[in-house]
Structure 1
Amino acid sequence: MTTTTYELTWDLDVFFEGGSSSKEFHTYLENIEKELESFKTLVSEMSVPQSASEKEGLSAAIDAFTAVSKKIRQSGAFVSCLQAQDMYDKKATALYGKIMQLSAGLQTVLTGLDQKLVSVEETVWKQLLSEAPFDELAYILEERRTRANEKLSPEQETLINSLGIDGYHAWGQLYNTVVGNIKIPFEENGEVKELSAGQASNKFASSDRDTRKRMFEAWTKAWEEQADYISSSLNHLGGYRLNVYKARGWEDIHKEPLDINRMSKETLETMWDVITEHKGAFVEYLDRKAQLLGLEKLSWYDLGAPIAKTESKVSYQEGCEFILDQFSKFGKELTDFTRVSFEDRWIEAEDRAGKRPGGFCTSFPESNQSRIFMTYSGTPSNVSTLAHELGHAFHQHAMSGVHTLNRNYAMNVAETASTFAEMIVADASVKHAKTEDERLALLEDKIQRSVAFYMNIHARFIFETAFYEERRNGIVSAERLNELMEQAQKEAYCDALSEYEPQFWASKMHFYLTQVPFYNFPYTFGYLFSLGIYAQAIEEGTDYEEKYIALLKDTASMKVEDLAQKHLGIDLTKRDFWEKAVKLSVKDVEEFLELTK
């Protein structure tokens, strides 16, 4: 049997040939501008329905909204890929600014549409939502109407959107520019190389503590040198948000992220409370790992250190084949989809300079395709990351038959699909280990992810909450940001480490994303929610894939509490579900402690 060789670089020419110089793409953007102008005219001339029979204008507006939003998402995905693959692509940076203008223009038109929705008399509104073509969009339209009621006047919201292009979003872009210019000099084998942030971060998984320590020193210095610029970006992003919230009368800093994630504060608080009560097991794991490494306590740069005597390297080809093999035990649709992703070059995995750090998956809705970005260096963790991003892509694939406006699922449920796919591979890796050392290393890699979700993500949430409270009173200095971050890390890690990373607020890109505030707690939600789904999948085997896809299809058209009740029969505001989910990951720690007695 001949094995297909999977390439390490993605294919973007299938969308628009020529990258950031593509004439086809420039024409595409011009057409979006025309469609956006038509949508604007349509909305401004649309009459507010006085009865359920007067629905033609609203129906036409919904169709135009669907078409133009799909095109803007397609263009945004393309440009984000160009920027990620080459941080020095200045044409791509200019195109990003153009996409931001189009997005802001769309939001301005939508502000007008939302006001029309608000103006519909309640009885007429309910009747409209009960009839085609609005019945399948009832949740989304009701959500838009409710949110519009909580905002300012259309004129004020339009001004906010316009100012955001060169204000709010510009500060996020400045952060990307600063990070793109960061070079971290690092000596290895007698040669000094200048590494990008993404390449440098991979060194923290080295088995050599001196390598990790030297990288941590170089890493810290690099971020310290840029701290003034980056702290300005963070402060102005925070200040912009707070001023908008104040104008709208929103006092709770968590209101917007909770609304975006379609979840209640009660669910969030219950989740964190249960996690905090079970952190003792993970502190035991950290203490045991320190012993195995011959240390009294772990430092921040030891968290990702392997404990096996040898570092196992997994080629990209081997990683892809292993993922396919494990996915095949879950379901045919996931497997076939993943094979297409590999064969049709949907993935950018090459380890080279100039790429941005981190990984992501983005959707091209007009093409019904996705693209995955990461830097693959051959670690078991890289295989898990690849599976994680493939889970995101499969989620988007599962929703391809759903109305475009019902595909905008929130981050918390987005992380459910990715984590689910990651766990299939992680569990299989442990079970298929050839030696005890390898089994231990793979089990520990799995536990590291639990530590990340329960401790690292918790630290980010604690820090960001504290930052916004202080930002209400004025600019927060870089030195104070360091203090807040270290305090948050100590609290989240139960003071189990000897040294922390105070500059983490600068190096973690998630704090600078302008699309979603509090880009942290949804990761933990998704991880635990997927544990519950995963437990059911193990019980039901390959027959579960159909139920799983049905759940994914509903992720953008109901609140998470309703989603969980409908598909899993659970109440997310109660402790029971979270207790069971956390205890599943505690079992990994218990096995680890037994193996390392």
Structure 2
Amino acid sequence: MTTTTYAQTWDLDVFFEGGSNSEQFHTYLKDIESELESFRSLVTELSVPKAASEKDGLTAVINAFQAVARKIRQSGAFVSCLQAQDMNDKKATMLYGNIMQLNASLQTILTGFDQKLVSIEKSIWDELLSEDPFAELAYVLEERRTRAKDKLSPEQETLINSLGIDGYHAWGQLYNTVVGNIKIPFEENGEVKELSAGQAFNKFSSSDRDTRKKMFESWTTVWEEQADYISSSLNHLGGFRLNVYKARGWEDIHKEPLDINRMSKETLDTMWTVITENKAPFVEYLDRKAKVLGIEKLSWYDLDAPIGKSESKISYQEGCEFILDQFSKFGKELTDFTRKSFEDRWIEAEDRAGKRPGGFCTSFPESDQSRIFMTYSGTPSNVSTLAHELGHAFHQHAMKGVHTLNRSYAMNVAETASTFAEMIVADASVKHAKTDEERLALLEDKVQRSVAFYMNIHARFIFETAFYEERKNGIVSAERLNELMEKAQKEAYCDSLDEYHPQFWASKMHFYLTQVPFYNFPYTFGYLFSLGIYAQAIEEGTDYEEKYIALLKDTASMTVEALAEKHLGVDLTKRDFWEKAVKLSIKDVEEFLELTK
């Protein structure tokens, strides 16, 4: 039996041959410009229906909307992949600016479209939503209409979109440019190498504490050197948002991220309260891990350290085959989809210089494909990350056949699918470990992830909330940002570490993404929500895949509270669900403590 060898570089030529020099892609962008003008004309000429029977114009607008939105998403995905694989690709950076311009034009047109929706009389609106072709889009159309009422006039919103290109979004691009030029010096085997941020970060998973400590010193020095540039980016991103919120009359800085995530404040507050009240076992885990590593107290750079003296390297091929094996125990569709992703080169995993740090999954809706980006260096954590991103890709695959406007699911439920896939692999790894030492290492990697969601992400949320409150009163200095970050980390980690990472605000890309503010709490939501789904899946076995896909299909057409009620029969505003989910992860901690007693 021959095994297919899986490539570690992705295939982008299948979309547009030639990368950032692709003539085909430039033609594609020109076509989008033409389609945007046609869409603009349709919206401008759209007469507000005076009766439910007058729906042809509205139908034409929605058809044009979904067509041009798919093309912009396709082009944006392509350029994001070009930028990630080579941060020195200056043409890709210029193309990203073009995509931002196209997207801003789309948002401007949609502002006018939303105002037309607002103008439809309530009784006629309700009747329209009860009929085809609008019935299946009832939630997203009602959502657009409601949000439009909550904003400024079309002229003012158009101005905000226009100014955002060279203002708001430009500050996000500046951060990417700064990080792209960062080289982190690191001495290894007597030779000083210059590592990209992504390569450097992987050193924190080394089993050698001197390696981790040396990297942390070099890491923090480099981010401190760039702090003035990066703090300017963060301050102006925050300032732009706050000014827009003030103009709209929005007082709560969490309003926009909660609206985007289709989630209530009550749900968010309940989730964090339950987590905060259940951190004691995780503090005990951190203390025990320090003892196992032979140190008094963990420092920030010890959090990802593996347990044990030897580093077990897992080749990319072995990692792929292991994931396939574990997915096969859940369901056929997930397994077949994953194999296709490997065989058709949907994944960029090569460990090389010049790549962007971190990992992501992006969809190409025109091609019904996805692409996954990461840097694979052979750690168990890398295998988990690969499974995580494959979960994202499967979510996009599950949405095939769903109307384009019903595919825009929010980040919190997107993280549900990815974390679910990651848990299948992590849980199975622990259960099928061949030795106690291997079991402990895999279990510890699993607990590390719980700590990340309950403590690291919580620190980001606390920091970002504090930053926006201070930013209301003016520019926040880099030194003050360091103070706010360290304070947030101490609170989130219950002051259980010896040394923290004050420059984390500079090194974490998520604070600089302009598409979604507060790119943090949805991760924790997704983790806990997926724990609830995973518990049901364990009970029902392979028969659960069909139900799981049905849940994924609904993720963009209802609130998360409604989704949980429909598919899990739970109320997310109550403590019960969150407590059960947290207790599932505490079981891993208890097992870890028992094994290391």
TM range (shorter): over 0.9
Deviation at 1:436, TM superposition (A): 1.1
Distance in 1, matches of 2:36 and 2:324, equals 42
Alignment of 1:416-435 (within 5 A): 416-435=416-435
Structure-1 separation of matches of 2:331 and 2:296:
45
Match of 1:549 in 2: 549
SS of residue paired to 1:361: strand
Give the RMSD, CA atoms, in angstroms: 0.4
Which range is displaced more, 307-316 or 516-525? 307-316
Deviation at 1:309, TM superposition (A): 2.5
Q: What's 1:155 paired with?
A: 155
Kindly state the Cα deviation for residue 588 of structure 1 after the two structures are TM-superposed: 0.3
Separation (CA, whole Å) in 2 of partners of 1:596 and 1:561:
39
Q: Which residue of 2 aligns with 1:249?
A: 249
Q: What letter corresponds to residue 377 of structure 2 in structure 1?
A: S
Look up the match of 2:339.
Answer: 339
Q: Superposed, which structure 2 residues align to 1:75-90 within 5 Å?
A: 75-90=75-90
1:500 is paired with a residue of what secondary structure? coil
Q: Which residue of 1 aligns with 2:177?
A: 177
Check if 1:453 corresponds to 2:453. yes
3-state DSSP class of the match of 1:192? strand
- 2:401 is aligned to 401
Q: Tell me, in whole angstroms, the C-alpha distance in 1 between the residues paired with 2:542 and 2:595.
A: 31
CA distance in 2, matches of 1:472, 1:497: 31
Separation in 2, partners of 1:289, 1:447? 11
Q: In percent, how many aligned pairs have the same letter?
A: 87
Q: Could you list the runs of 5+ residues in structure 2 that have no partner in the other structure?
A: none
1:38-437 superposed matches below 5 A: 38-437=38-437
Checking the alignment, whether the CA contact within 8 Å between 1:172 and 1:512 is kept in structure 2 is yes
Q: Spell out, residue by residue over 1:71-91, the C-alpha distance to the aligned partner (whole angstroms, 9 max, x if none).
A: 000000000000000000000
Q: Secondary structure at the match of 2:219?
A: helix
In the other structure, the counterpart of 1:19 is 19
Output the CA distance in 2 between the equivalents of 1:254 and 1:74: 30
Which residue type is aligned with residue 383 of structure 1? V
d(CA) in 2 for partners of 1:290 and 1:86?
38
**CA displacement 1:220-241 (0-9 Å, x = unmatched):** 0000000000000000000000
| Residue equivalent to 1:575 | 575
Secondary structure, aligned partner of 2:193: strand
Please give the per-residue CA displacement for 1:29-56, whole angstroms capped at 9, x wherever unaligned: 0000000000001100110001001111
Which amino acid letter does the alignment assign opposite residue 341 of structure 2? S
SS of alignment partner, residue 446 of structure 2:
helix
CA offsets per residue over residues 151-182 of structure 1, 9 Å max, x none? 00000000000000000000000000000000
- Give me the whole-angstrom Cα distance separating, in 2, the residues matched to 1:97 and 1:127: 41
**Counterpart code for 1:454:** Y
Provide the rounded CA distance (Å) in 2 between the counterparts of 1:435 and 1:540.
29
Q: Does 1:536 align with 2:506?
A: no
Q: CA deviation at 1:435?
A: 1.5
Matched residue SS, 2:25? helix
1:308 and 1:438 in contact (8 A); partners too = no
Q: Residue 192 of structure 2: SS of its match in structure 1?
A: strand
Q: Deviations over 1:247-272 (max 9, x none)?
A: 00000000000000000000000000
* One-letter identity of the residue aligned with 1:178: V
User: Normalising to structure 2: TM-score of the pair?
Assistant: 1.00
Alpha-carbon offset, residue 308 of structure 1: 1.7
Aligned partners of 2:530, 2:501: CA distance in 1, in Å? 29
CA deviation profile, 1:45-71 (whole Å, cap 9, x unmatched): 110001001111111000000000000
Q: Is the 8 A contact 1:107 1:161 kept in 2?
A: yes
Quote the offset at 1:438 in angstroms: 1.0
**What is the CA distance between 1:296 and its match in structure 2?**
1.2
Q: If the length of structure 1 is used for normalisation, what is the TM-score? A: 1.00
Give the 4+ runs in structure 1 shifted more than 4 A: none
Q: Deviations over 1:362-411 (max 9, x none)?
A: 00000000000000000000000000000000000000110000000000
- Does 430-439 or 171-180 show the bigger shift? 430-439
8 Å contact 1:309–1:437 — kept in the other structure?
no
Q: Secondary structure at the match of 1:498?
A: coil
SS of alignment partner, residue 539 of structure 1: helix
The 8 Å contact of residues 511 and 519 in structure 1, kept in 2 or not, is answered as yes
Counterpart in 2 of 1:592?
592
Q: Which amino acid counterpart does residue 62 of structure 2 have in structure 1?
A: I
How far apart are 1:274 and its partner, in Å? 0.4
Q: Counterpart of 1:371 in 2: which secondary structure?
A: strand
